[in-house]
Amino acid sequence: MNYPLTAGVLFGVALIAGQQPPASVFTAEQAAAGRAAYQANCASCHAPDLAGRNEAPQLAGANFMTTWRNRTTRDLFEYIQGTMPPNAPSLDAAQYLAIATYILQANGAAAGSQAFTPTTAAPIGSVATGVVQTNAAAGAPGAAGAAGAAGGRVGAAQGRGAGGQAPGGRGGAPAGPIGLTVTGEVKNYVPVTDEMLRNEDAGDWLMARRNYQGWSFTPLTQISRDNAKELQLQWVWPMNEGQTNEPTPLVHNGIIYLTNTQNIVQALDGKTGDLIWENHVGPNATTGIAAMRNMAIYQDRVYVATTDARLVALDARTGNKIWDTPIADRAKGYANTAGPIVIKGVVVNGLVGCDRYGNDGCWISGYDAATGKQLWKFNTIARTGQAGAETWGKLADNLRVGGETWIAGSYDPDLDLTYWGVAQAKPWMRASRGTTNFDNALYTSSTLALRPKDGTLAWHYQHAPGESLDLDEVFERVLVDIGDQKVVFTIGKAGILWKLDRRNGQFIGYKETLFQNVFDSIDPKTGAPQYRADILEQKTGQWVQSCPSTEGGHNWQAMSYHQPTGTLIIPLSQSCMEMSGRVIAPTDGSGGTGADRRFFEMPGSDGNVGRLAAFDVKTMKEVWSREQRAPFLTAVLTTASGVGFVGDLDRTFRAFDVRTGDTLWQTRLGTAVMGYPVAFSIGGRQYIAVTSGAQGGGSPRVVPRTIIPEIRPAATGNALYIFALPEKK
């Protein structure tokens, strides 16, 4: 029995009647082994049906053949061997050979008696027809599951999670339990009210970036500049392995709520690290980068967005599932990497995986916290009959894609507005997606201010009209009051710090935080950028150089607003790139990112990719800056006592002086420090929590691997680390 073709699988050109079939360069046994190896090691990014996802291109159909038709089978093997998996190529040569044959078979190449070798160098167009093979692209149900069991990196946290049950292999069919695997109850639970979300207890961390304003700041003061050097590790909780780990631990009354890869949610005692309950919400198979950056807590429930585009409410006391609501159709490529925020009983969530032609668009949506019923939906891609439809030019509705919202929004309780960033249009380059220099493609690369009750638009501001190099503006929105001025700050991949009036979206100012050469100028009155001429004149197949790269001058690693000093402390990255857009078939199921990239060091950086800098919110002037070779891979956390925390690719987690950036204390973890550090207190004792992430992370991990290959964090080691000062005797 075969799986049906999904919308992501494209048909190429069939053989002309009477034409001789192409020569064979591999055996059926190699292709079968390649299918298992692909499902175990590649499907989590490129999708089980080879349809591609996010930065991972399609590997079956017209887009693949357009790119590879005139290159050889040896080129394909060497490319895969040298670059995949993107964090660290680590398979043996036989597996790389097998994966290459599986990809060829999926594109219509026939198996035969000749074995594929590292020196086999037939033009791909001479062996592959471009007709997608259903069996090869989808695989039999048993094969995917076997692949997960045979080659996947499995496991709950070294037997501590899931009672030692393994959740299944990377990219394979779901395996292991679904639902509660460890039962227990949070004692003396106190429901989280609207007032508690507006004015959090100092010892709690109840949402993404801690408060509605998105500050990533704690009022706790026990850890100070004077005693930070005494910080000690209290306990470590090994987390589920296998994919990207970037969570925000939530903490309420000393209980930590933690989301793991593969949609595993746990409740832990914050003082001892003991597991209270665990729920495998499902699916256990990884989807996309498989990261979930945050959850939400409200009343007696924890709200979890799953990587297959569902929204689930769990009982915060027991972990039992209360309701389960689809956000979008997973079969059309939709997914999630960020969870919700709750605003007066409305659970607001974004969406990713909106990059395939012929899908249903992209949106932000609100749900009733009690029932899971959808209350409203705001479309971030303007289609016929909707406001802004004309900004997509002559593109048909089915070709208008992108506009993801993969970072949780912020909220102003006084104005009753929620602020969200929207990612770029897809494919990345205008030349690939067929828009002109006059097509701004609303509401991509914009800040949206929505009314949380009904999802209606109060205002929008587009930072990068018609953005064309994957330098989007989707990241955190930080709300700051400066005297009578109500401001929203944001910074995107171009490294430009934007300052807007959050009442009406009026442009106030900007600051270039690092070197950029994408925009020749930015209008000081309106903020409108002027692109370089060669970016405007781009063509497919031609390389365009730009700084920063898709690593982003700033990416998902959130900045912190340190209220006592009035500064924004921002993790930045310094790298550049060349990008070449591909020809993308204008066919439903096609689309994607559609470009090739080459990376190099940023001029003037002296090889320092990581940069941490502070900026005054009034003047936007730089207060201080610190550079280092390794990029920072966590959000910044600051405290009322003037201590900041941040982690990096080279496994270092450090405390620094918020006034100067000087290091106060540091330690090294088991692998790269990645995620969102939080602070909490139990019984008057302050704790710092941070996670490590062994893999994934998108461009912030892929780019450094190219330009700083000497930094090699461990390939396993997802974990939660808890630090505190020594207890007084």
The angle, 0 to 180 degrees and rounded to 10, between the axes of the packed helices 93-106 and 73-83 is: 130
DSSP 8-state secondary structure symbol assigned to residue 527: -
> What residue type is 693 in one-letter code?
G
* The pLDDT value given to residue 437: 87
For residue 380, which of 429, 348, 332, 425 has the smallest C-alpha distance?
425
Distance separating alpha carbons of residues 721 and 727, to the nearest angstrom: 17
Residues 6+ apart with CB under 8 A from 450: 364, 378, 417, 418, 419, 420, 456, 457, 458
Averaged pLDDT score across all residues of the chain:
89
The position carrying tokens 């960020």 is 338
DSSP 8-state secondary structure symbol assigned to residue 705: H
Q: Are 280 and 179 in contact (CB under 8 A)?
A: yes
For residue 49, which of 178, 174, 173 has the smallest C-alpha distance?
173
Cis peptide before 548 (omega within 30 of 0): yes
For 68-82, 205-219, 223-237, 249-263, which range has the lowest pLDDT when averaged over its residues? Answer: 68-82
Q: Which helix (H) or strand (E) holds 265?
A: strand 264-269
Task: Using a pLDDT cut of 70, give the percent of the chain over it.
Answer: 90
Angle 450-593-374 from CA coordinates, rounded to 5°: 30
* The pLDDT value given to residue 286: 66
Please write the tens of the pLDDT for every residue from 674-697.
999 999 999 999 999 999 999 877
Distance separating alpha carbons of residues 637 and 202, to the nearest angstrom: 14
Please spell the DSSP secondary structure of 560-612, one letter per residue.
EEETTTTEEEEEEE-EEEEEEEPP---STT-BS--EEEEEEEPTTSTT--EEE
Strand arrangement of the beta sheet that strand 264-269 belongs to = 179-182, 275-280, 264-269, 255-260, 250-252
* The pLDDT value given to residue 697: 75
DSSP SS3 for 359: coil
Please write the tens of the pLDDT for every residue from 450-494.
999 999 999 999 999 999 999 999 999 999 999 999 999 999 999
The position carrying tokens 């249903």 is 360
Torsion angle in degrees (nearest 10) through CA of 206, 567, 462, 8:
-50
For 167-176, 463-472, 551-560, which range has the lowest pLDDT when averaged over its residues? Answer: 167-176
**Band of residue 714 on the pLDDT scale cut at 50, 70, 90:** very high
Please write the tens of the pLDDT for every residue from 299-312.
999 999 999 999 99
Distance separating alpha carbons of residues 632 and 36, to the nearest angstrom: 35
Please write the tens of the pLDDT for every residue from 598-655.
999 999 999 999 999 999 999 999 999 999 999 999 999 999 999 999 999 999 999 9
Q: Is the pLDDT of residue 19 over 60?
A: no
Q: Is the pLDDT of residue 138 over 60?
A: no
What mean pLDDT comes out for the span 208-216? 98
Distance separating alpha carbons of residues 310 and 349, to the nearest angstrom: 10
Report CA-CA distances (Å) from 402 to 171, 255, 555, 593, 670.
Answer: 23, 37, 17, 9, 36
For residue 336, which of 344, 346, 325 has the smallest C-alpha distance?
325
Q: In the chain, what is the greatest distance between 2 CA atoms, to the nearest angstrom?
A: 88
What mean pLDDT comes out for the span 372-381? 98
pLDDT greater at residue 65 or residue 514: 514
What mean pLDDT comes out for the span 185-193? 98
Neighbours of 414 (CB within 10 A): 10
Q: What pTM value is reported for the model?
A: 0.87
DSSP SS3 for 90: coil
The position carrying tokens 């394909």 is 76
Report CA-CA distances (Å) from 126 to 71, 129, 130, 159.
Answer: 10, 8, 10, 50
Angle 696-329-162 from CA coordinates, rounded to 5°: 50
Torsion angle in degrees (nearest 10) through CA of 327, 331, 336, 337:
180
What mean pLDDT comes out for the span 95-107? 92
Distance separating alpha carbons of residues 649 and 705, to the nearest angstrom: 10
* The pLDDT value given to residue 54: 72
Please spell the DSSP secondary structure of 379-399, one letter per residue.
ESS--TTSTTGGGGTT--GGG
Distance separating alpha carbons of residues 388 and 626, to the nearest angstrom: 42
Beta-sheet pairing, 560-562 with 567-573: antiparallel
Q: Are 2 and 140 in contact (CB under 8 A)?
A: yes
DSSP SS3 for 706: helix
**Band of residue 522 on the pLDDT scale cut at 50, 70, 90:** very high
Distance separating alpha carbons of residues 447 and 19, to the nearest angstrom: 54
The position carrying tokens 């591999």 is 26
The angle, 0 to 180 degrees and rounded to 10, between the axes of the packed helices 28-41 and 141-151 is: 70
Residues 6+ apart with CB under 8 A from 289: 44, 45, 54, 243, 244, 337, 696, 697, 698
What mean pLDDT comes out for the span 318-335? 95
Q: Are 457 and 449 in contact (CB under 8 A)?
A: yes
For residue 362, which of 402, 419, 325 has the smallest C-alpha distance?
402
Q: Which helix (H) or strand (E) holds 266?
A: strand 264-269
Q: Are 402 and 381 in contact (CB under 8 A)?
A: yes
- 320 burial via Cβ count (<10 Å: 0-12, 13-18, 19+): middle
Polymer length of the chain? 729
pLDDT greater at residue 126 or residue 476: 476
For 87-96, 153-162, 643-652, which range has the lowest pLDDT when averaged over its residues? Answer: 153-162
What mean pLDDT comes out for the span 225-245? 95
